[in-house]
Amino acid sequence: MIPFKSLIQIDKSSAVPVFLQVSNQLAHFIRAGTLLAGQRLPGTRQLAELLTLNRQTIVAAYDEGLAQGWLESKTGSGTYVAAHFPEVKPQALTLDSTAPSPQTIASKTPGYTFESIPFLHRPILTQTTGLHLDDGFPDIRLAPMDELSRAYRSYFRWGNPQAHFGYGDTKGHLLLREQLSAHLNETRGLRTTSDNILITRGSIMGVHLASQVLLRPGDVVVTGETNYVGATMNFQRAGATLVTVPVDQHGLDVEALAQVCAQQKSIRMVFVTPHHHYPTTVTLRPDRRIRLLQLAEQYGFIVLEDDYDYDFHYLSRPILPLASADPKGMVVYIGSLTKSVAPAFRIGYVVAPSELIDELARLRRIIDRQGDPMLEFAVGQLFKTGDLKRHFRKALRTYQARRDRFCDLLTNELAQYVQFAKPDGGMAVWARFDPAIDLEKLALRAGQQGLFFSNGVSHNPPGQRLNCTRFGFASSTEDELELSIRVLKKIL
Protein backbone atom coordinates (compact mmCIF):
# COMPACT_ATOMS: atom_id res chain seq x y z
CA MET A 1 0.00 0.00 0.00
CA ILE A 2 1.45 3.38 -1.02
CA PRO A 3 1.29 5.88 1.91
CA PHE A 4 -0.16 8.75 -0.13
CA LYS A 5 -1.08 10.70 2.98
CA SER A 6 2.56 11.06 4.06
CA LEU A 7 4.09 11.15 0.57
CA ILE A 8 2.03 13.96 -0.96
CA GLN A 9 2.82 17.27 0.70
CA ILE A 10 0.53 20.25 0.10
CA ASP A 11 1.69 23.84 0.55
CA LYS A 12 -1.39 26.06 0.46
CA SER A 13 0.78 29.19 0.67
CA SER A 14 2.46 28.30 -2.65
CA ALA A 15 1.59 30.11 -5.86
CA VAL A 16 1.25 26.69 -7.54
CA PRO A 17 -2.42 25.56 -7.49
CA VAL A 18 -3.09 22.62 -5.17
CA PHE A 19 -4.32 20.34 -7.95
CA LEU A 20 -1.02 20.92 -9.83
CA GLN A 21 0.97 20.18 -6.68
CA VAL A 22 -0.82 16.81 -6.44
CA SER A 23 -0.43 16.08 -10.15
CA ASN A 24 3.27 17.08 -10.20
CA GLN A 25 4.07 14.88 -7.21
CA LEU A 26 2.26 11.89 -8.71
CA ALA A 27 4.34 12.37 -11.86
CA HIS A 28 7.48 12.50 -9.72
CA PHE A 29 6.61 9.20 -8.02
CA ILE A 30 6.01 7.58 -11.42
CA ARG A 31 9.43 8.77 -12.68
CA ALA A 32 11.07 7.55 -9.48
CA GLY A 33 9.50 4.08 -9.69
CA THR A 34 7.49 4.54 -6.48
CA LEU A 35 4.34 4.20 -8.60
CA LEU A 36 4.69 1.45 -11.20
CA ALA A 37 3.27 1.19 -14.71
CA GLY A 38 -0.30 -0.12 -14.63
CA GLN A 39 -0.70 0.47 -10.89
CA ARG A 40 -4.21 1.46 -9.78
CA LEU A 41 -4.58 4.77 -7.93
CA PRO A 42 -7.07 5.43 -5.13
CA GLY A 43 -10.47 6.74 -6.16
CA THR A 44 -10.88 10.50 -6.17
CA ARG A 45 -13.10 10.47 -3.08
CA GLN A 46 -10.70 8.20 -1.15
CA LEU A 47 -7.59 10.29 -2.03
CA ALA A 48 -9.43 13.51 -1.19
CA GLU A 49 -10.23 12.15 2.29
CA LEU A 50 -6.63 10.99 2.80
CA LEU A 51 -5.24 14.43 1.89
CA THR A 52 -8.10 16.44 3.46
CA LEU A 53 -8.84 18.11 0.14
CA ASN A 54 -11.94 18.79 -1.92
CA ARG A 55 -12.78 15.89 -4.23
CA GLN A 56 -12.91 18.26 -7.22
CA THR A 57 -9.26 19.13 -6.54
CA ILE A 58 -8.31 15.45 -6.92
CA VAL A 59 -10.49 15.16 -10.03
CA ALA A 60 -8.59 18.11 -11.52
CA ALA A 61 -5.24 16.54 -10.51
CA TYR A 62 -6.14 13.25 -12.19
CA ASP A 63 -7.38 15.11 -15.29
CA GLU A 64 -4.02 16.89 -15.47
CA GLY A 65 -2.19 13.57 -15.19
CA LEU A 66 -4.38 12.13 -17.95
CA ALA A 67 -3.70 15.14 -20.17
CA GLN A 68 0.06 14.88 -19.56
CA GLY A 69 0.07 11.16 -20.32
CA TRP A 70 1.16 9.99 -16.87
CA LEU A 71 -2.18 8.39 -16.09
CA GLU A 72 -4.87 6.48 -17.95
CA SER A 73 -8.52 5.90 -17.16
CA LYS A 74 -10.31 2.57 -17.50
CA THR A 75 -14.07 2.90 -17.69
CA GLY A 76 -15.77 1.29 -14.70
CA SER A 77 -12.43 0.37 -13.14
CA GLY A 78 -10.68 3.58 -12.11
CA THR A 79 -7.51 5.57 -12.76
CA TYR A 80 -4.15 3.86 -13.33
CA VAL A 81 -0.53 4.75 -13.94
CA ALA A 82 -0.11 4.57 -17.72
CA ALA A 83 1.00 1.13 -18.80
CA HIS A 84 3.57 2.26 -21.36
CA PHE A 85 6.28 3.37 -18.89
CA PRO A 86 9.45 1.26 -18.69
CA GLU A 87 10.25 -0.58 -15.50
CA VAL A 88 12.00 1.65 -12.97
CA LYS A 89 13.77 0.35 -9.88
CA PRO A 90 11.62 1.68 -7.03
CA GLN A 91 13.22 4.10 -4.61
CA ALA A 92 13.01 3.40 -0.90
CA LEU A 93 10.12 5.12 0.83
CA THR A 94 11.81 7.34 3.39
CA LEU A 95 11.09 10.73 4.80
CA ASP A 96 13.17 12.14 1.92
CA SER A 97 11.03 10.47 -0.76
CA THR A 98 8.66 13.41 -1.12
CA ALA A 99 8.77 15.28 -4.38
CA PRO A 100 11.22 18.18 -4.45
CA SER A 101 9.74 21.67 -4.30
CA PRO A 102 9.80 23.67 -7.56
CA GLN A 103 12.76 25.64 -6.16
CA THR A 104 15.01 22.56 -5.73
CA ILE A 105 13.87 20.22 -8.51
CA ALA A 106 16.73 21.30 -10.81
CA SER A 107 20.05 20.00 -9.54
CA LYS A 108 23.31 21.90 -9.93
CA THR A 109 25.29 19.04 -11.44
CA PRO A 110 24.07 17.21 -14.57
CA GLY A 111 24.24 13.47 -14.95
CA TYR A 112 26.66 13.75 -17.87
CA THR A 113 30.09 15.30 -18.33
CA PHE A 114 31.03 18.35 -20.36
CA GLU A 115 34.13 20.49 -20.72
CA SER A 116 34.10 23.80 -18.85
CA ILE A 117 36.41 26.13 -20.75
CA PRO A 118 38.55 28.17 -18.35
CA PHE A 119 39.04 31.22 -20.58
CA LEU A 120 35.27 31.73 -20.79
CA HIS A 121 35.06 32.30 -17.04
CA ARG A 122 34.79 36.05 -16.85
CA PRO A 123 32.66 38.29 -14.61
CA ILE A 124 29.55 39.77 -16.21
CA LEU A 125 29.58 43.57 -16.39
CA THR A 126 26.27 45.16 -15.46
CA GLN A 127 25.14 48.76 -15.33
CA THR A 128 25.50 49.57 -11.65
CA THR A 129 23.47 52.05 -9.66
CA GLY A 130 25.09 54.71 -7.53
CA LEU A 131 28.54 56.10 -8.34
CA HIS A 132 30.48 54.29 -11.03
CA LEU A 133 33.54 54.76 -13.22
CA ASP A 134 32.63 51.94 -15.56
CA ASP A 135 34.30 50.42 -18.61
CA GLY A 136 33.15 53.29 -20.81
CA PHE A 137 29.39 53.06 -21.13
CA PRO A 138 27.06 55.73 -22.52
CA ASP A 139 24.70 57.66 -20.28
CA ILE A 140 21.30 56.09 -20.88
CA ARG A 141 19.69 59.26 -19.51
CA LEU A 142 20.72 60.97 -22.76
CA ALA A 143 19.22 58.30 -25.04
CA PRO A 144 16.44 59.53 -27.36
CA MET A 145 13.72 57.52 -25.64
CA ASP A 146 10.74 59.66 -26.74
CA GLU A 147 11.86 59.54 -30.36
CA LEU A 148 12.44 55.81 -30.13
CA SER A 149 9.00 55.30 -28.62
CA ARG A 150 7.39 57.15 -31.51
CA ALA A 151 9.35 55.08 -34.00
CA TYR A 152 8.23 51.88 -32.28
CA ARG A 153 4.59 52.96 -32.52
CA SER A 154 4.96 53.68 -36.22
CA TYR A 155 6.06 50.07 -36.71
CA PHE A 156 2.59 48.91 -35.69
CA ARG A 157 0.84 51.38 -37.97
CA TRP A 158 2.97 51.10 -41.08
CA GLY A 159 2.96 48.48 -43.81
CA ASN A 160 1.88 44.85 -43.91
CA PRO A 161 1.41 43.24 -40.46
CA GLN A 162 2.22 39.82 -41.91
CA ALA A 163 5.61 41.08 -43.03
CA HIS A 164 6.18 42.94 -39.75
CA PHE A 165 5.54 40.04 -37.42
CA GLY A 166 6.71 37.11 -39.52
CA TYR A 167 10.25 36.01 -40.22
CA GLY A 168 12.52 38.71 -41.59
CA ASP A 169 15.83 38.96 -43.39
CA THR A 170 18.64 37.23 -41.50
CA LYS A 171 20.92 40.13 -42.46
CA GLY A 172 18.70 42.60 -40.62
CA HIS A 173 15.86 44.98 -41.41
CA LEU A 174 16.37 46.54 -44.84
CA LEU A 175 15.50 50.05 -43.64
CA LEU A 176 18.25 50.00 -41.02
CA ARG A 177 20.80 48.51 -43.41
CA GLU A 178 20.02 51.19 -46.01
CA GLN A 179 20.17 54.02 -43.50
CA LEU A 180 23.27 52.66 -41.82
CA SER A 181 24.99 52.27 -45.18
CA ALA A 182 24.31 55.93 -45.98
CA HIS A 183 25.49 56.99 -42.51
CA LEU A 184 28.74 55.00 -42.73
CA ASN A 185 29.46 56.29 -46.23
CA GLU A 186 28.91 59.87 -45.07
CA THR A 187 30.76 59.79 -41.75
CA ARG A 188 33.44 57.13 -42.27
CA GLY A 189 34.32 57.41 -45.94
CA LEU A 190 33.12 53.88 -46.72
CA ARG A 191 31.62 52.83 -50.04
CA THR A 192 28.86 50.42 -49.11
CA THR A 193 25.36 49.36 -50.04
CA SER A 194 22.86 47.51 -47.87
CA ASP A 195 24.28 44.24 -49.27
CA ASN A 196 27.58 44.96 -47.50
CA ILE A 197 25.98 45.12 -44.04
CA LEU A 198 24.91 42.45 -41.57
CA ILE A 199 23.05 43.64 -38.46
CA THR A 200 24.06 41.76 -35.30
CA ARG A 201 23.20 41.87 -31.61
CA GLY A 202 26.17 44.03 -30.66
CA SER A 203 29.73 44.07 -31.94
CA ILE A 204 30.69 40.95 -29.98
CA MET A 205 28.31 38.88 -32.10
CA GLY A 206 30.05 40.25 -35.19
CA VAL A 207 33.43 39.19 -33.78
CA HIS A 208 32.04 35.73 -33.02
CA LEU A 209 30.56 35.21 -36.48
CA ALA A 210 33.72 36.43 -38.21
CA SER A 211 35.86 34.15 -36.03
CA GLN A 212 33.73 31.10 -36.81
CA VAL A 213 33.59 31.73 -40.55
CA LEU A 214 37.14 32.96 -41.16
CA LEU A 215 39.24 30.96 -38.70
CA ARG A 216 40.16 27.29 -38.49
CA PRO A 217 41.98 25.50 -35.65
CA GLY A 218 45.66 26.41 -35.72
CA ASP A 219 45.23 29.65 -37.69
CA VAL A 220 47.43 32.46 -36.36
CA VAL A 221 45.69 35.58 -35.06
CA VAL A 222 47.72 38.60 -34.01
CA THR A 223 46.41 41.05 -31.40
CA GLY A 224 47.83 43.79 -29.25
CA GLU A 225 49.54 42.71 -26.04
CA THR A 226 46.66 44.41 -24.26
CA ASN A 227 43.45 43.57 -26.03
CA TYR A 228 39.67 43.34 -25.82
CA VAL A 229 39.11 40.15 -23.85
CA GLY A 230 35.82 39.38 -25.60
CA ALA A 231 37.62 39.18 -28.94
CA THR A 232 40.47 37.10 -27.51
CA MET A 233 38.00 34.59 -26.10
CA ASN A 234 36.34 34.19 -29.49
CA PHE A 235 39.66 33.57 -31.24
CA GLN A 236 40.57 30.97 -28.63
CA ARG A 237 37.18 29.30 -28.99
CA ALA A 238 37.74 29.05 -32.74
CA GLY A 239 40.99 27.18 -32.03
CA ALA A 240 43.30 29.94 -33.23
CA THR A 241 46.91 30.33 -32.15
CA LEU A 242 47.32 33.78 -30.58
CA VAL A 243 50.39 35.94 -31.11
CA THR A 244 50.66 39.35 -29.46
CA VAL A 245 52.65 42.46 -30.40
CA PRO A 246 53.30 45.53 -28.25
CA VAL A 247 51.01 48.55 -28.04
CA ASP A 248 52.56 51.94 -27.29
CA GLN A 249 51.36 55.54 -27.21
CA HIS A 250 50.81 55.40 -30.99
CA GLY A 251 48.81 52.17 -31.02
CA LEU A 252 49.70 48.73 -32.33
CA ASP A 253 53.43 48.34 -33.08
CA VAL A 254 53.14 47.63 -36.79
CA GLU A 255 56.88 47.06 -37.29
CA ALA A 256 56.74 44.34 -34.64
CA LEU A 257 53.86 42.90 -36.63
CA ALA A 258 56.02 43.00 -39.78
CA GLN A 259 58.66 40.92 -37.96
CA VAL A 260 56.01 38.39 -36.95
CA CYS A 261 54.85 38.20 -40.57
CA ALA A 262 58.40 37.51 -41.73
CA GLN A 263 58.90 34.78 -39.13
CA GLN A 264 55.52 33.03 -39.32
CA LYS A 265 54.62 30.78 -42.24
CA SER A 266 51.24 32.47 -42.46
CA ILE A 267 49.05 34.82 -40.47
CA ARG A 268 45.32 34.53 -40.97
CA MET A 269 44.04 37.57 -39.09
CA VAL A 270 45.08 40.74 -37.25
CA PHE A 271 42.59 42.21 -34.77
CA VAL A 272 42.78 45.95 -34.13
CA THR A 273 40.80 48.74 -32.48
CA PRO A 274 42.64 51.57 -34.24
CA HIS A 275 40.37 54.50 -33.43
CA HIS A 276 40.76 54.06 -29.66
CA HIS A 277 42.74 50.97 -28.79
CA TYR A 278 41.00 48.86 -26.17
CA PRO A 279 41.75 49.14 -23.32
CA THR A 280 44.41 51.88 -23.46
CA THR A 281 42.38 54.37 -25.63
CA VAL A 282 45.39 55.36 -27.82
CA THR A 283 44.84 56.10 -31.52
CA LEU A 284 46.72 54.22 -34.23
CA ARG A 285 49.00 56.75 -35.96
CA PRO A 286 48.31 57.41 -39.68
CA ASP A 287 51.64 56.03 -40.93
CA ARG A 288 51.02 52.80 -39.02
CA ARG A 289 47.58 52.53 -40.58
CA ILE A 290 49.08 52.72 -44.07
CA ARG A 291 51.76 50.20 -43.16
CA LEU A 292 49.20 47.79 -41.67
CA LEU A 293 47.16 47.78 -44.88
CA GLN A 294 50.34 47.25 -46.92
CA LEU A 295 51.24 44.25 -44.77
CA ALA A 296 47.72 42.84 -45.14
CA GLU A 297 48.01 43.05 -48.92
CA GLN A 298 51.55 41.64 -48.92
CA TYR A 299 50.91 38.68 -46.60
CA GLY A 300 47.22 38.11 -47.34
CA PHE A 301 45.89 38.34 -43.79
CA ILE A 302 42.47 39.64 -42.76
CA VAL A 303 42.26 42.86 -40.76
CA LEU A 304 39.38 42.60 -38.30
CA GLU A 305 38.71 46.23 -37.34
CA ASP A 306 36.54 46.81 -34.26
CA ASP A 307 35.48 50.47 -34.28
CA TYR A 308 33.43 50.35 -31.07
CA ASP A 309 33.17 54.09 -30.28
CA TYR A 310 33.89 55.99 -33.50
CA ASP A 311 31.01 58.42 -32.95
CA PHE A 312 32.76 60.11 -30.01
CA HIS A 313 35.94 61.92 -31.01
CA TYR A 314 36.72 65.33 -29.54
CA LEU A 315 39.35 66.76 -31.90
CA SER A 316 37.46 68.05 -34.97
CA ARG A 317 37.00 65.27 -37.53
CA PRO A 318 38.16 61.81 -36.36
CA ILE A 319 40.64 59.72 -38.28
CA LEU A 320 38.80 57.57 -40.80
CA PRO A 321 38.64 53.78 -40.31
CA LEU A 322 41.10 51.42 -41.98
CA ALA A 323 38.16 50.12 -44.01
CA SER A 324 37.86 53.49 -45.78
CA ALA A 325 41.35 53.12 -47.28
CA ASP A 326 41.22 49.41 -48.09
CA PRO A 327 41.63 48.94 -51.87
CA LYS A 328 41.92 45.14 -51.80
CA GLY A 329 38.99 44.21 -49.55
CA MET A 330 41.20 42.92 -46.72
CA VAL A 331 39.32 44.67 -43.87
CA VAL A 332 36.24 43.36 -42.07
CA TYR A 333 34.75 46.34 -40.28
CA ILE A 334 32.72 45.91 -37.09
CA GLY A 335 30.82 48.60 -35.22
CA SER A 336 28.03 49.06 -32.73
CA LEU A 337 25.26 51.40 -31.65
CA THR A 338 25.41 49.93 -28.15
CA LYS A 339 28.09 52.38 -27.02
CA SER A 340 26.49 55.23 -28.94
CA VAL A 341 22.98 54.95 -27.48
CA ALA A 342 22.56 52.43 -24.64
CA PRO A 343 23.86 48.92 -23.85
CA ALA A 344 20.33 47.49 -23.98
CA PHE A 345 20.12 48.48 -27.67
CA ARG A 346 21.68 45.28 -28.95
CA ILE A 347 22.54 46.52 -32.42
CA GLY A 348 25.92 46.00 -33.97
CA TYR A 349 26.97 45.55 -37.57
CA VAL A 350 29.55 43.91 -39.80
CA VAL A 351 30.65 45.63 -43.00
CA ALA A 352 32.42 43.50 -45.60
CA PRO A 353 32.23 42.38 -49.25
CA SER A 354 28.78 40.95 -49.95
CA GLU A 355 30.00 37.36 -50.42
CA LEU A 356 31.33 37.30 -46.85
CA ILE A 357 28.18 38.99 -45.56
CA ASP A 358 26.10 36.25 -47.19
CA GLU A 359 28.17 33.54 -45.47
CA LEU A 360 28.03 35.30 -42.09
CA ALA A 361 24.24 35.52 -42.46
CA ARG A 362 24.02 31.78 -43.17
CA LEU A 363 25.89 31.03 -39.95
CA ARG A 364 23.87 33.58 -38.00
CA ARG A 365 20.71 31.83 -39.13
CA ILE A 366 21.51 28.66 -37.16
CA ILE A 367 22.49 30.64 -34.06
CA ASP A 368 19.89 33.41 -33.98
CA ARG A 369 17.37 33.24 -36.83
CA GLN A 370 17.13 37.02 -36.99
CA GLY A 371 17.56 40.06 -34.83
CA ASP A 372 14.85 42.29 -33.39
CA PRO A 373 12.94 43.64 -36.43
CA MET A 374 10.99 46.16 -34.33
CA LEU A 375 14.11 47.66 -32.75
CA GLU A 376 15.97 47.62 -36.07
CA PHE A 377 13.07 49.38 -37.82
CA ALA A 378 12.80 51.96 -35.03
CA VAL A 379 16.52 52.76 -35.13
CA GLY A 380 16.36 52.92 -38.93
CA GLN A 381 13.58 55.49 -38.57
CA LEU A 382 15.71 57.53 -36.15
CA PHE A 383 18.48 57.61 -38.75
CA LYS A 384 15.99 58.58 -41.46
CA THR A 385 14.45 61.43 -39.46
CA GLY A 386 17.84 62.70 -38.26
CA ASP A 387 16.98 62.13 -34.59
CA LEU A 388 19.89 59.74 -34.06
CA LYS A 389 22.42 62.11 -35.62
CA ARG A 390 21.12 64.90 -33.38
CA HIS A 391 21.58 62.56 -30.41
CA PHE A 392 25.17 61.87 -31.45
CA ARG A 393 25.94 65.61 -31.60
CA LYS A 394 24.32 66.28 -28.22
CA ALA A 395 26.04 63.31 -26.57
CA LEU A 396 29.39 64.32 -28.10
CA ARG A 397 29.21 67.79 -26.51
CA THR A 398 28.14 66.33 -23.17
CA TYR A 399 30.79 63.62 -23.08
CA GLN A 400 33.52 66.07 -24.08
CA ALA A 401 32.61 68.33 -21.16
CA ARG A 402 32.62 65.32 -18.83
CA ARG A 403 35.98 64.17 -20.16
CA ASP A 404 37.49 67.59 -19.57
CA ARG A 405 36.08 67.84 -16.04
CA PHE A 406 37.14 64.31 -15.14
CA CYS A 407 40.68 64.78 -16.41
CA ASP A 408 40.94 68.05 -14.44
CA LEU A 409 39.82 66.20 -11.31
CA LEU A 410 42.37 63.42 -11.84
CA THR A 411 45.13 65.98 -12.35
CA ASN A 412 44.21 68.21 -9.43
CA GLU A 413 43.18 65.60 -6.88
CA LEU A 414 44.97 62.32 -7.68
CA ALA A 415 48.16 63.27 -9.54
CA GLN A 416 50.37 61.61 -6.91
CA TYR A 417 48.56 58.29 -7.33
CA VAL A 418 47.51 58.05 -10.99
CA GLN A 419 49.11 58.67 -14.38
CA PHE A 420 47.00 59.03 -17.52
CA ALA A 421 46.86 60.61 -20.95
CA LYS A 422 43.82 62.69 -21.84
CA PRO A 423 42.03 60.65 -24.52
CA ASP A 424 41.22 62.23 -27.88
CA GLY A 425 37.90 60.40 -27.94
CA GLY A 426 35.89 57.57 -26.51
CA MET A 427 34.25 57.32 -23.11
CA ALA A 428 37.01 56.16 -20.78
CA VAL A 429 40.42 57.12 -19.39
CA TRP A 430 43.24 54.55 -19.12
CA ALA A 431 44.56 55.10 -15.59
CA ARG A 432 47.91 53.72 -14.39
CA PHE A 433 48.24 53.54 -10.60
CA ASP A 434 51.40 53.80 -8.55
CA PRO A 435 52.88 50.27 -8.16
CA ALA A 436 52.65 50.61 -4.38
CA ILE A 437 48.85 50.74 -4.63
CA ASP A 438 46.96 47.45 -4.63
CA LEU A 439 44.35 48.17 -7.29
CA GLU A 440 42.28 45.09 -6.47
CA LYS A 441 41.96 46.09 -2.82
CA LEU A 442 41.29 49.69 -3.82
CA ALA A 443 38.40 48.65 -6.10
CA LEU A 444 36.99 46.42 -3.36
CA ARG A 445 37.08 49.17 -0.73
CA ALA A 446 35.58 51.67 -3.16
CA GLY A 447 32.73 49.27 -3.86
CA GLN A 448 32.04 49.01 -0.15
CA GLN A 449 31.68 52.79 -0.09
CA GLY A 450 29.33 52.95 -3.07
CA LEU A 451 31.78 53.57 -5.93
CA PHE A 452 32.17 50.88 -8.60
CA PHE A 453 35.10 50.53 -10.99
CA SER A 454 37.01 47.59 -12.46
CA ASN A 455 40.06 46.31 -10.61
CA GLY A 456 41.83 46.03 -13.97
CA VAL A 457 42.76 42.37 -13.65
CA SER A 458 41.08 41.45 -16.93
CA HIS A 459 43.41 43.87 -18.77
CA ASN A 460 46.62 42.20 -17.55
CA PRO A 461 48.55 40.26 -20.20
CA PRO A 462 49.57 36.76 -19.03
CA GLY A 463 52.19 36.97 -16.31
CA GLN A 464 52.03 40.76 -16.03
CA ARG A 465 50.52 43.17 -13.51
CA LEU A 466 49.85 46.48 -15.24
CA ASN A 467 48.08 48.03 -12.23
CA CYS A 468 45.88 49.88 -14.72
CA THR A 469 42.16 50.20 -15.22
CA ARG A 470 39.62 52.00 -17.38
CA PHE A 471 37.71 54.84 -15.74
CA GLY A 472 34.53 55.47 -17.74
CA PHE A 473 33.36 59.07 -17.47
CA ALA A 474 30.55 59.30 -20.02
CA SER A 475 27.79 57.69 -17.96
CA SER A 476 28.21 60.04 -14.98
CA THR A 477 27.33 63.71 -14.66
CA GLU A 478 30.04 66.19 -13.72
CA ASP A 479 28.72 66.29 -10.14
CA GLU A 480 28.77 62.48 -9.98
CA LEU A 481 32.34 62.46 -11.29
CA GLU A 482 33.36 64.91 -8.58
CA LEU A 483 31.77 62.73 -5.89
CA SER A 484 33.51 59.66 -7.31
CA ILE A 485 36.93 61.30 -7.16
CA ARG A 486 36.19 62.47 -3.63
CA VAL A 487 35.47 58.89 -2.54
CA LEU A 488 38.56 57.60 -4.32
CA LYS A 489 40.82 60.26 -2.84
CA LYS A 490 39.52 59.56 0.67
CA ILE A 491 40.33 55.84 0.37
CA LEU A 492 43.78 56.51 -1.12
Report all structural domains of the chain as residue ranges with CATH numbers, in order of start: 4-97 (1.10.10.10), 131-136+391-491 (3.90.1150.10), 143-389 (3.40.640.10)
Inter-residue contact 297 to 335 (CB < 8 Å): no
User: What percentage of the chain reaches a pLDDT higher than 90?
Assistant: 56
Q: State the CB neighbour count (10 A cutoff) for residue 460.
A: 13
Q: What is the DSSP string of 126-142?
A: ---SSEEE-SS---GGG
The pair phi, psi for residue 393, each rounded to 5°, is -65, -45
pLDDT mean across residues, the chain: 87
pLDDT grade for 202, boundaries at 50, 70 and 90: confident
pTM for the full predicted model: 0.78
Distances in Å between the Cα of 82 and the Cα atoms of 35, 306, 347 are 10, 58, 50
The pLDDT, as a whole number, for residue 99 is 47
The more confident residue out of 260 and 107 is: 260
Residue type for 401, please?
A
Contacts of residue 17, Cβ cutoff 8 Å, sequence gap at least 6: none
pLDDT digits (tens, 9 = 90+) for 96-145: 544 444 444 456 777 767 777 777 777 666 656 689 998 888 888 888 88
